[in-house]
Amino acid sequence: MADKNLTIIEEFILLGFSELPNFQGFLFVIFLFIYISILLGNGLIIVITNVEPTLQTPMYYFLGNFSFVEICYTSVTLPRMLMNLWSQKKNISLVSCAAQLCFFLILAVIESFLLAVMAYDRYMAICKPLYYSLIMNHKMCVQMVIGSWITGIPVVIGQTYQVFSVPFCGSNKLNHVFCDMPPLMKLTCGDTSWDKFFIYIDCFLFGLIPFLLIFFSYIRILSAILNLSSTSGRTKAFSTCSSHLIVVCLFYGSGLIAYLQSIFSYSDRTDKIFSLIYTVVTPMFNPMIYSLRNKDFIEAMKKLFSKCVAR
| One CATH from 1.20.1070.10, 3.60.15.10, 3.30.70.360, 3.40.50.970 for 11-310 | 1.20.1070.10
The CA distance from 76 to 68, in Å, is 13
The separation between CA 86 and the C-alpha centre of its own chain, rounded to angstroms, equals: 25
The answer to whether residue 140 scores a pLDDT higher than 90 is: yes
Q: What is the pLDDT of residues 9-32, one digit of tens each?
A: 778 888 888 777 788 889 899 999
Cα–Cα nearest to 178, from 80, 36, 74: 80
Q: From residue 195, how far is each of 106, 250, 271 by CA, in Å?
A: 18, 27, 19
Q: What is the pLDDT of residues 62-120, one digit of tens each?
A: 999 999 999 998 999 999 999 988 887 788 888 899 999 999 989 988 998 999 999 99
Q: What pLDDT, on the 0 to 100 scale, is given for residue 262?
A: 57
Count of Cβ atoms closer than 10 Å to residue 215 Cβ: 13
Percent of the chain with pLDDT over 90: 23
Give the bridge partners for 169, in sequence order.
Answer: 8
Q: What pLDDT, on the 0 to 100 scale, is given for residue 223?
A: 87
Q: What is the pLDDT of residues 154-179, one digit of tens each?
A: 888 888 888 888 777 767 888 888 88
Residue 1 binned pLDDT confidence (cut-offs 50, 70, 90): very low
